Amino acid sequence: MDFPTSARCGTSTTTMRYGSACSDGPAFTTGCPTIRAFGFEIAGDSPPYFGVRGRGTANLLAAAEVDVLPRLLDRYGIDRDSSLASWLLSRRATELTIKLMPEWITSWDYRDRMS
């Protein structure tokens, strides 16, 4: 399989290797499958304000090893015999799954106060 060998995060580049030394199974690793920090926020830009934000770590896993795609097709009601599903599944050998592991999450909801 041809996989990327580096990832760019901010101004630094991390060299990765493909291996299965960790208990999570095959993953892109820099000695461990963890890619340091990530942050997220899911919120609207207009009132009433509500949302969630957090930070954590992430692993890059070969999609063929994790097999998430068929479950996503089922979840979103996409027929596995459709042309979209066939196309997505045909690319599985070169796809990656990002496993997000939040370490800190907070939320806010001002809808009651702002209505």
Q: Would you state the pLDDT for residue 7?
A: 45
Q: Would you state the pLDDT for residue 33?
A: 55
CA distance 115 to 105: 25
Residue 106: left (phi > 0), alpha (psi -120 to 50), or beta? beta
pLDDT in tens, 10-56: 433 344 444 433 444 444 443 445 566 889 999 999 888 999 999 99
Contacts 24+ apart (CB under 8 A), 28-35: 28/3, 28/4, 28/60, 28/61, 28/96, 33/59, 33/60, 33/61, 34/58, 34/59, 35/7, 35/9, 35/59, 35/60
* pTM of this structure: 0.52
